[in-house]
Structure 1
Amino acid sequence: MSFFKSLFSKKQPITTRTLTKPQDLQINDIFTFGDSFALPQAMRKQQLQVIDIKTLEFKHEHYPQIIGQGSGPQLVYLSFPINPQQLVKFSLLLTRNDVENLFDLDAFSEIFEEPGNARLKPHTNNHHYADMIADEYIQQDFMTTGYKHQEDYRTTTPPQDNAQKHGREFEFYSLSGGKEKRFIDIFIFENGDTDIYLSFLRPANEISELWIKGE
């Protein structure tokens, strides 16, 4: 009986996945940046593989943070905050040496002082991230609370109930410049860990090629 059932049962259609937008990247997929001179050397013409996908959650929105790595140790972060032009936020994680080389540390410390009205000018343009840097940054966020989840919640909502698993809570500070398309984004976690990103908004077509894993 089971033989005849299997013989005459309808075959389920094979679903094929398509990949046309960077916000649909999955772990192990590949993406390549174009050769635009608006991109820093860490991105320009680089081919990267998605090694992780996390979720950044704020009060009124949440969106994925896609982490890519090429042949070297440099990581590139793609995220997709709401913006009218649907631009992608490309980010690089700064080291302490990067921060010291780019900014006056006394001026940088004003970011964390109330009421959060810091203005910051880089004191050099001689840096390998120079193409991402604004001439001046004005503070936008001060102690904004959010959560960083280790899971990908693009198709669901992050846990909202206290009994459920929450992500890592952080305080978020940000400054913008370059017609609000260049940013310094700072995440301070409960244990004191601090991530400082240099970011800018760019069109999605700065990523010239996308490949599905295994193809």
Structure 2
Amino acid sequence: MSFFKALFAKKQALPTRSLNHPSELQVDDIFSFGDSFALPKIMRKQQFEVSEINTVELKYEHYAQLVGRGMSPQPVYISFPKNPQKFVKYSVLLTRQDVGDLFDLDDFSEIFEAPGCARLKPITFEHPYADMVAAEYLQQDFMTTGYFHQQDYRAGTPPQFNEEKHGREFEFYSLAGDQGQRFIDIFIFENGDTDVYLSFLRPASEISELWIKGE
């Protein structure tokens, strides 16, 4: 009798995972920004789906970088480097045209010259990303070595540099403005590929809604 009871008993619903913070997002999950005027237009009240989760290994720590794709062809990036306020870093990836539109390229090239003490001011605030730009930036990092992993290592440790899968090595340059709240982050990879991010720190609460995939 117990066999038939077990066979025809109503199956209980499997417990679903909870999603309470942007750092818990997984691929295919969805997140939405609020309507705060502290957010740039590209993010304000926009919805994105997590398309990939990468890991940045830098300065003896590693943190996740989530790529969000929405209606615009321009993805947004949210990452979780350590900082005293436990803020989230929100970023967009600049094209070479964007860099040339926002900054004097001769001034920008000083970022890559020793000893790495560049000061940089934007040449315009008439740009789609202008509301993400600081009035002035001071250089923080010069030729700092790191590794970029196209995998999610939030629950573990990335492979070490002497192992097979050590990620893509890069040189890291960064500048900070607005009292350490806005950044230019530059990754130069071994093959010469260069990623320039325009970033800012804000509370996780700027992401107003989170949805688990399939729910």
Q: What is the CA–CA distance in structure 2 between the aligned matches of 1:136 and 1:185, rounded to whole Å?
A: 14
Moved over 4 A (4+): none
Q: How big is each residue's C-alpha offset from its partner over 1:75-111, in whole Å with a ceiling of 9 and x where there is no partner?
A: 0000000001100000000011110110000000000
70 and 125 in structure 1: CA distance in 2 versus 1, 3 angstrom threshold: same
Residue 125 of structure 1: aligned partner: 125
**1:15 Cα deviation (Å)?**
3.6
Q: What is the CA–CA distance in structure 1 between the aligned matches of 2:100 and 2:72, rounded to whole Å?
A: 23
Q: The residue matched to 2:195 in structure 1 has which SS?
A: strand
Residue 69 of structure 1: aligned partner: 69
Structure 1 segment 15-34 matched on structure 2, within 5 A = 15-34=15-34
70 and 13 in structure 1: CA distance in 2 versus 1, 3 angstrom threshold: closer
Q: What is the CA–CA distance in structure 2 between the aligned matches of 1:144 and 1:184, rounded to whole Å?
A: 14
Q: What is the CA–CA distance in structure 2 between the aligned matches of 1:160 and 1:101, rounded to whole Å?
A: 39
So what's the TM-score if we normalise by structure 2? 0.93
RMSD between aligned residues: 1.7
Residue 36 of structure 1: aligned partner: 36
Residue 163 of structure 1: aligned partner: 163
Unaligned runs of 5+ residues in structure 2 are none
2:189 is aligned with 1:189: yes
**1:128 Cα deviation (Å)?**
1.2
Structure 1 segment 105-184 matched on structure 2, within 5 A = 105-160=105-160, 162-184=162-184
Q: What is the CA–CA distance in structure 2 between the aligned matches of 1:35 and 1:89, rounded to whole Å?
A: 17
Percent identity over paired residues: 70
Q: What is the CA–CA distance in structure 2 between the aligned matches of 1:13 and 1:159, rounded to whole Å?
A: 37
Q: What letter corresponds to residue 104 of structure 1 in structure 2?
A: D
**1:161 Cα deviation (Å)?**
5.7
**1:131 Cα deviation (Å)?**
1.4
Q: The residue matched to 1:154 in structure 2 has which SS?
A: coil
Q: The residue matched to 1:201 in structure 2 has which SS?
A: strand
12 and 162 in structure 1: CA distance in 2 versus 1, 3 angstrom threshold: farther
So what's the TM-score if we normalise by structure 1? 0.93
2:103 is aligned with 1:103: yes
Q: What is the CA–CA distance in structure 2 between the aligned matches of 1:58 and 1:36, rounded to whole Å?
A: 31
Q: The residue matched to 1:35 in structure 2 has which SS?
A: coil
Q: The residue matched to 2:175 in structure 1 has which SS?
A: strand
Q: What letter corresponds to residue 153 of structure 2 in structure 1?
A: Y
Q: What is the CA–CA distance in structure 1 between the aligned matches of 2:207 and 2:81, rounded to whole Å?
A: 17
Unaligned runs of 5+ residues in structure 1 are none
Q: What is the CA–CA distance in structure 2 between the aligned matches of 1:13 and 1:93, rounded to whole Å?
A: 41
Q: What is the CA–CA distance in structure 2 between the aligned matches of 1:103 and 1:192, rounded to whole Å?
A: 21
* Matched length: 209
